Structure 1
């Protein structure tokens, strides 16, 4: 048996022992403090039979036994300071919105895993939400409140700024056994898309401010060779800041700088995973904390759900992989998970010198430990490393698997290799696990773009809004968990139905190419197509990476083998054929894409990060012929405004039947079509 398989077997055995060994000390929330209560909140708004809501803010204090097998996998926890009981302590912000009368609620918890400390649940309520929702306007249509959900947040991200009502967590610093500082390699990928940035703050303090022990490089484009900046071209301002010389010299706009140095004092960042586990477990199962403070949701929660957008969706991928959906009594923590924009990536939280605020895209934050095997849920063997693993392995051993919806935009397929969620490492389709469904939002960018703005990209941004779909899918997830009703079938590109177009990797690069002919991309006047796509390479972070310690950091890309990924084929308009085609794709007025390219002065023709494109059709046949646009005009498609409205109506009615839109959201699409200026 090779080492990786042995490690997996050991992990499974350890998890089972943790379930059945009663003598193991339990990690838990030992104290909860509600520091402020606003009752009622939302200007006293009443949500039907549920009544009014109240807002609770406070702190939760937790303890972890570093010798417990479920905690021992947290990197550096054995090197964290301990209290008199031998426990490792942490403290985090908590925030709860609940019915004043919990008996009138639906006895379900909606945990939003915050994004860099911020709350992004507003789309569920058709509102701006905000980081401290207080007014009736901030609750929008009250979608969640009208159904009686209790909504909760907790701090987990140690890099979240302690400002603006962000949720934060206080974590211990790991030290060597003799009490001396831990040092090790750290890395900064630095890009400023402005001409005025004159300094850069490091994620961790430098162990020594000696330039001979650090390297700063620069290049203008990904394909360029990095050029080392001489020692007289930069300096440490202090242990946490560097700048170019002479002082006041700005970093070159959109150039790629990379800084490698020796850092010190790593946080035990992986505790952030245990913090969410223990917070939800406390709210669900406890009646009071260790000093008698009552659980504000005691005996009121029967089912637990999570919703997350982007960074925290990647966090929840690792949360599952590492077994944190079982609490230390072996009980399931989350029953249902709706991940939006997580891709097939993790978050790199459980490593020494973690930087969870970063994310890797085809021109952003390369070489961070975000995207390592396993990518998919089933237990597979990695042909590149021989390692055997899967996101479902730990919860299968403890019988605590949640029901999961992995929902991704086209941007995640183009920019974050999301196809690896539902394929093996060679790109072969996998059957869906019993507890997971996968959905592509066709042609969408990473979030909702502004169709009136290009930003630093070449084309207008993509305004596709997935919130109505996410609402419908959440209802389907709830029904799957609580009633056993099968949800809508997965909708993603597949090799089997020939909707998948495989990326061609580039040697020594984390980007590749999707050939235009294979994709079916039309040649649109004024639109550049390069086929740029992110691919996943097997990166060597060193022999200690399995313990979360990166010794080869940053790793090199030269001659690294690749994991196969793909995107959806497109139709004659350039719109994706696979996935869930919302009305703006099924009844298009433009070509919408999940990829975009940077404009002049911003690293031209390289990836425009999370942006997509909105490329409108011409109104008449004469206009499109005059510009050699191969895509049919609006006039040729719909003839009249009423024809367009009818096409939208047919599209949304079909989505309602498929349980991919709620009736009220379908009506919004129809009203918007009627109010539009299409062929008016």
Structure 2
């Protein structure tokens, strides 16, 4: 009997030491929400807002890889605490829902699921209009969000997380190198806020440099040319001097008081695990989804897609009882990158593109899912390594626009470090949305770029692929095969690294890019170089920041070849690409006043065809005119109709979304 009691006691002790949500606090309920709108057979929804309180055992193997958690303050139980904002939209009658969780990993605190519901629904969707067409609610999904990003501003209904500051064992402040990439596309900014307070106000222990273009040499700004406005703010001198418009400033300094940012991974793990598996918290508060959730899915766009990449790599898809957290993952616009979250002095809001936020720890091996040995570092790793060991791997769709291939080296998702094609793992598929920029651009605006932006909208494909992902997870229905550029089928064009430059080039002839009057082509592409962040980098602690990529080896990456119009041949070709009236690209260049011919970050281009043959010849445009292509208006409409029919058959477009393309073609003046 005593032995049995001791065994049960040991189980209780083991349970209480596990990382988990210990308390959930619902601070507001709106029932019903969306002004009482009913969603088909599911009925009305309610909105729950609140906070969740978590505890982590810093000595647990699942948590020990969180940078600096061992240096975080602990409570009386020896646990490290955190607090997250939570937000849930659920059927009032859960029995009428589909018992599936749609977790959106928020972007810098904001909700971006509107594309699924054809709504710009804001950060606190409340009205019937903000429910859009109710795509997710009509099917009965419960939607949830949680804070994870320590840099998310606590404004505008953003979801935030509170994590502790790490200290040395004696309680003193931790100090170390930090770095700021600074660029304002205006001529009025007078100050710049640092991510962390400085350890000392001695200007001799910091360096501020400037250059006008990415390829220019660095110019050091002397100590009498800048000053600290506070321990977290710098400004130029004399007072009132603005930062030069679109110039690139870089600030290296010694920071203090790093937050334990990597807790953000554990927060999502434990929140989803609680919703899926728990009945109540430690204080008797009921799980609002208790005994309901049978399948879990995540959706993420851009920054949080990179977060989900690292979430998998670091093994957070297994909770501390070794149960799968997410069954299906749909990543959109994440590229092959991770996120600089699990590092000392983390800045997860940063993202590197061909003229943006260089020299942060984002493009770090492993890039691909299979376990590979990196010839540049000798390391062996892969996104699937930890989940394979714990048998908790999810089904994954990695979906990217052309922009991610040009400015975030997305091809490294499905190649080895030398750019050789890899077979898709059994649980992962890869898709390129051909000719699209990072999100949907405004075709009437140039922004800082030379050409009008690219309006190709990938959201209809996201809806169709999410249905395919659900069927794969819940019914075992095989998804559409990967659609990406490949070396093996001749659709890939390999980029050439440029010695001493932070970017590479895609040769025009190899790409097949036509010479279009008034359009500059340089072949500029982001190249992932092997960057050395110091001897402690394996533990996620940046001990130094590289100041240049000069002489460093690079990882091979590629983009899709283009046809005679400049439109991509690989990937999912939506009607704007398959039945074009313009050349649409995933890359763009900056115009004169904003750093001419440097990369225009996430933007693409929309370069319309001439209307008639006469106009084309007069402009010396090599691309056929609209009239030469389609002859009549009905000819154009029919071509669009055939295109969407094919996409439906391939499961890249839902029948309910096809009509929008046909209607737009019919209403066009072509």
Bucket of the pairwise TM-score, normalised by the shorter protein: over 0.9
Partner in structure 2 of residue 7 of structure 1: none
Other-structure match for 2:430: 438
* 1:628 counterpart = 2:620: yes
1:508 alignment counterpart = 500
**How far did residue 158 of structure 1 move?**
0.4
What does residue 363 of structure 2 align with? 371
Q: How far apart, in 2, do the equivalents of 1:527 and 1:90 lie?
A: 51
Taking the aligned partners of 1:102 and 1:246, their CA distance within structure 2 comes to 63
Instruction: State which of 251, 263, 268 in structure 1 corresponds to 2:255.
Output: 263
Q: CA deviation at 1:472?
A: 0.1
Cα distance in 2 for partners of 1:532, 1:319 equals 30
Alignment of 1:569-584 (within 5 A): 569-584=561-576
Taking the TM superposition and a 5 Å limit, the aligned residue runs for 1:71-90 are: 71-90=63-82
C-alpha RMSD over aligned residues? 1.0
Contact 2:531 / 2:546 at 8 angstroms: preserved in 1? no
Deviation at 1:24, TM superposition (A): 8.6
1:452 aligns with 2:444: yes
* Equivalent in 552, 559, 562 of residue 554 of structure 2: 562
Q: Contact 1:360–1:416 at 8 Å: present in 2 too?
A: yes
For residues 291 and 179 of structure 1, the distance between their equivalents in structure 2, rounded to whole angstroms, comes to 32
Q: Deviations over 1:175-226 (max 9, x none)?
A: 0000000000000000000000000000000001110100000000111111
**1:8 corresponding residue in structure 2:** none
Runs of 4+ displaced beyond 4 Å: 21-24
DSSP-derived class of the 1:67 partner: coil
Equivalent position of 2:6 in the other structure: none
- Asked whether the equivalents of residues 374 and 380 of structure 2 are also in contact (C-alpha less than 8 Å), the reply is yes
Maintained 8 Å contact 1:235/1:244: yes
User: Residue deviations 1:18-43, cap 9 Å, x none?
Assistant: x9x96792100000000000000001
- Aligned counterparts of 2:361 and 2:71: Cα–Cα separation in 1: 21
- CA–CA distance in 2 between the matches of 1:555 and 1:116? 27
Counterparts of 1:557 and 1:127 in 2: how far apart (Å)? 42
Q: Which residue of 1 aligns with 2:484?
A: 492
| Secondary structure, counterpart of 2:44 in structure 1 | strand
Task: Give the drift of 1:558.
Answer: 2.0
Residue 40 of structure 1, aligned match among 23, 32, 54: 32
Is 1:347 the counterpart of 2:339 in the alignment? yes
Match of 1:58 among 46, 50, 63: 50
SS of residue matched to 1:49: helix
In the alignment, the residues of structure 1 paired with residue 15 and residue 477 of structure 2 have an alpha-carbon distance, to the nearest angstrom, of 39
Q: CA separation in 1, counterparts of 2:484 and 2:666?
A: 30
Is 1:361 the counterpart of 2:353 in the alignment? Answer: yes
Q: Is the 8 A contact 2:434 2:573 kept in 1?
A: yes
The SS at the match of 1:474 is: helix
CA drift at 1:556: 3.4
Instruction: Give the deviation of 1:554 after TM superposition.
Output: 3.5
Measure, in 2, the Cα distance between the counterparts of 1:242 and 1:660: 49
Return the offset for 1:150: 0.1
Question: What's the TM-score once normalised by structure 1's chain length?
Answer: 0.96
Structure 1 position 555, deviation (Å): 4.8
Counterpart position of 1:293? 285
Q: Is the 8 A contact 2:532 2:546 kept in 1?
A: no
Counterparts of 1:182 and 1:480, CA distance in 2? 47
1:507 is displaced (CA, Å) by: 1.0
Match of 2:5 in 1: none
1:531 pairs with one of 523, 527, 531:
523
1:667 aligned onto 2:656? no
Structure 1 partner of 2:3: none
How far apart are the structure 2 equivalents of 1:268 and 1:33?
A: 23
1:144-179 alpha-carbon deviations (Å, 9 max, x no partner): 000000000000000000000000000000000000
Please point out which of 293, 303, 307 is paired with 2:299.
307
In 1, Cα distance between the equivalents of 2:405 and 2:50?
A: 39
CA distance in 2, matches of 1:184, 1:458: 40
* Partner SS for 1:601: helix
**CA deviation after TM superposition for structure 1 residue 509, in Å:** 2.2
- The answer to whether the 8 Å contact 1:185/1:262 transfers is yes
Partners of 1:669 and 1:440 lie apart in 2 by 19
Structure 2 equivalent of residue 12 of structure 1: none
Looking at structure 2, the residues matched to 379 and 109 of structure 1 have their Cα atoms a distance apart, in angstroms, of 29
1:224 paired residue among 184, 195, 216: 216
1:170 matched to 2:142? The reply is: no
Matching of residue 601 in structure 1 with residue 593 in structure 2: yes
Q: Out of 309, 312, 318, which is 2:310 matched to?
A: 318
Q: Secondary structure at the match of 1:97?
A: strand
Structure 2 unaligned spans of 5+: 1-10
| TM superposition shift of 1:510 | 2.3
**Contact between 1:539 and 1:555, CA under 8 Å: does it hold in 2?**
no
Contact 1:427 1:564 (8 Å CA) reproduced: yes
**TM-score normalised according to structure 2 size:** 0.98
1:412 aligns with 404
Supply the distance in 2 between the matched residues of 1:454 and 1:246 (Cα, whole angstroms): 34
For residues 290-325 of structure 1, the C-alpha deviation after alignment (integer angstroms, 9 at most, x for no partner) is 000000000010000000000000000000000000
- Determine the structure 2 residue equivalent to 1:4: none
Q: Given the alignment of the two structures, is residue 400 of structure 1 paired with residue 423 of structure 2, yes or no?
A: no
Helix, strand or coil at the partner of 2:116: helix
Counterparts of 2:16 and 2:208, CA distance in 1? 48
Partner SS, residue 411 of structure 2:
helix
Contact 1:537 1:560 in 2 (8 A): yes
Q: Is the 8 A contact 1:541 1:555 kept in 2?
A: no
- Give, in whole Å, the separation in 2 of the partners of 1:134 and 1:569: 44
**Contact 2:317 2:392 survives alignment (8 Å):** yes
Q: Note the alpha carbon deviations across 1:477-521, whole angstroms, 9 max, x for none.
A: 000000000000100000000000000001122200000000000
Contact 1:540 1:555 in 2 (8 A): no
Please give the secondary structure, in 2, of the residue aligned with 1:537. coil
| 1:545 counterpart residue number | 537
**Alpha-carbon distance in 2 for matches of 1:554, 1:425:** 21
CA distance in structure 2 between the aligned counterparts of 1:401 and 1:302, rounded to whole angstroms: 16
Query: Which residue number corresponds to residue 466 of structure 1?
Result: 458
Instruction: Determine which of 555, 578, 592 is the counterpart of 1:586.
Output: 578
2:8 matched to which residue of 1? none
1:644: which partner in 2? 636
Q: Are 2:124 and 1:95 aligned?
A: no
- Secondary structure of the equivalent of 2:660? helix
Q: Does 1:141 align with 2:141?
A: no
Q: How does 1:66-215 map to 2 (within 5 A)?
A: 66-215=58-207
Gaps of at least 5 residues in structure 1 are: 1-18
Distance 1:336 1:22 in 2: 29
d(CA) in 2 for partners of 1:23, 1:510:
49
Whole-Å Cα distance in 2 between the matches of residues 250 and 226 of structure 1?
A: 19
Equivalent residue for 1:654, pick from 625, 646, 657: 646
